[in-house]
Amino acid sequence: MSILVLGGAGYIGANAVDALIEKNYKVVVLDNLSTGFQQAVHAQARFYKGDIRDKALLQQIFREEQVEAVLHFAALSLGRESVEQPMKYFSNNVYGTQVLLEVMAEFEVRHIVFSSSATVYGNSAIGRVDELTATAPLNPYGQSKVMMETMMHWADQAGQLSFVALRYFNVAGAKKDGTLGEVRPRLIPIALRVAQGRQDKMTILGDDYHTADGTCIRDYIHVSDLVAAHLLALEYLIQGGQSEIFNLGSAQGYSNLEVIKAVRKITGAEVLVTIKPRVPGDADSLVASSQKISSILGWQAKQSNIEEIIADAWKFQQFYPEGYQY
């Protein structure tokens, strides 16, 4: 029996594949490499290049690989791009998940751990966000995650499957040895490129949020802590656990300027920052309550201290200064 990892060549998926193989799972990866890198996929995983919307290919994989459970990371996930090209997001994320759920039902595969996002909460969150907070997505990307969760809920109600949807906050950091990390231009990778002298300076959007230093506050979770939660969720479902939605964050908030300060401390570099106007719709502060996942799955963040996150991401940046192509 094998675990099918959709999007297993992406940042988080590749870390999950690595962790599954370390735990002796047999792993199969399907990824269309739209934002992922085949070099990041563990050599012991069986790799298929293709799209989750390709039903015939999914059926072939389910038939040949004896899939026991699915980890579903495959999605487009750029909020601003989704505003400009909404149908691209609904096709890839929502229709892709529909095809997947149809094939899972056909082959009676009953367990799925799904990457959702704190972006489903939009601006409705005040203080620490728990799972009872209303969903109010501000862009098609967030809406697509709500729709994917909804589809899984109804597939569950129809008796087809049980799922765990993990609503990630800001995932960051890299595998401890620095070999698997994030290539996409987000706050920490960009700051590390500046620290390395590959970029002169960086931009922070907005210093007029209702926070102590005026920059917005986010919750950063180490990718290894996040992956550990997937393994617990997978084991929980295999042992007969019922469907659940969990927030997944460190429950610690850091402002953008606090993150930059930590990058300066870890790298010893100056990291020049310019401030530009904020983007409409960004919340002042988004910090998770991870109480539910702690009490039901026994999960705890162990490596999500911001300095540890940055130190591991810095190792990756030094390993692959221009991403996996070098």
Ligand X SMILES: NC(=O)c1ccc[n+]([C@@H]2O[C@H](COP(=O)([O-])OP(=O)(O)OC[C@H]3O[C@@H](n4cnc5c(N)ncnc54)[C@H](O)[C@@H]3O)[C@@H](O)[C@H]2O)c1
Q: Minimum distance from CB of 211 to ligand X (Å)?
A: 20
| 141 labelled catalytic | yes
Helix axis angle, 55-65 relative to 96-106, nearest 10°?
A: 40
32 is an interface residue for ligand X by CB under 6 A: yes
Residue 281 sits at the vertex; the CA angle it makes with 98 and 248, to the nearest 5 degrees, is 55
Contact flag: residue 33 with ligand X (CB under 6 A): yes
User: Is 36 near ligand X (CB under 6 A)?
Assistant: yes
From 47-55, 152-160, 196-204, 238-246, give the range in contact with ligand X by CB under 6 A.
Answer: 47-55
Find the binder of ligand X among 9, 17, 70, 283 (CB under 6 A). 9
What φ, ψ does residue 165 adopt, rounded to 5°?
Answer: -100, 125
Min dist. Cβ of residue 275 to ligand X (A): 23
Give the up-direction half-sphere exposure of residue 138: CA atoms within 13 A in the CB hemisphere: 15
Q: How far apart (Å, rounded) are the C-alpha atoms in residues 234 and 112?
A: 8
Q: How far is the CB of 142 from ligand X (least distance, A)?
A: 10
Q: Candidates 3, 4, 5, 12: give the one binding ligand X (CB under 6 A).
A: 12
State the number of binding residues for ligand X (CB under 6 A).
28
CB of residue 210 vs ligand X: minimum separation in angstroms? 23
- Residue 131 sits in the site that holds ligand X (CB under 6 A): no
CB of 229 to ligand X, least distance (A): 12
Pairing state of beta strands 111-117 and 67-72?
A: parallel
Give the C-alpha distances (Å, rounded to integers) separating 60 from 34, 141, 191: 21, 29, 43
Distance of alpha carbon 145 from alpha carbon 142, whole angstroms: 5
The stretch near ligand X (CB under 6 A) out of 69-77, 188-196, 198-206, 256-264 is 69-77
Residue 11 near ligand X by CB under 6 A: yes
Exposed e or buried b per residue across 34-62, where buried means at least 16 C-beta atoms within 10 angstroms of its C-beta: ebbbeebbbeebebbebbbbbeebbeebb
Question: Burial code of 160-198, b = ≥16 C-beta within 10 A, e = fewer?
Answer: bbbbbbbbbbbbbbbbeebbbbbbeeebbbbbbbbbeee
- How far apart are alpha carbons 276 and 263 in whole angstroms? 20
Q: Which is nearer to ligand X, 170 or 256 (CB)?
A: 170
Strands 2-6 and 67-72, by their bridges, are parallel
Contact 4, 71 (CB under 8 A): yes
Query: What is the x/- site pattern for ligand X, positions 98-117, by CB under 6 A?
Result: -----------------x-x
Q: Per CB under 6 A, does 31 bind ligand X?
A: yes
Q: Is residue 74 a contact point for ligand X (CB under 6 A)?
A: yes
User: Under rule CB under 6 A, which residues in 138-177 are in contact with ligand X?
Assistant: 168, 170-171
The single residue of 48, 141, 209, 220 carrying the catalytic annotation is 141
- The answer to whether residue 77 forms part of the interface with ligand X (CB under 6 A) is yes
User: Where does this chain bind ligand X (CB under 6 A)?
Assistant: 7, 9-13, 30-36, 51-53, 73-77, 92, 96, 115, 117, 168, 170-171
Catalytic residue positions?
141
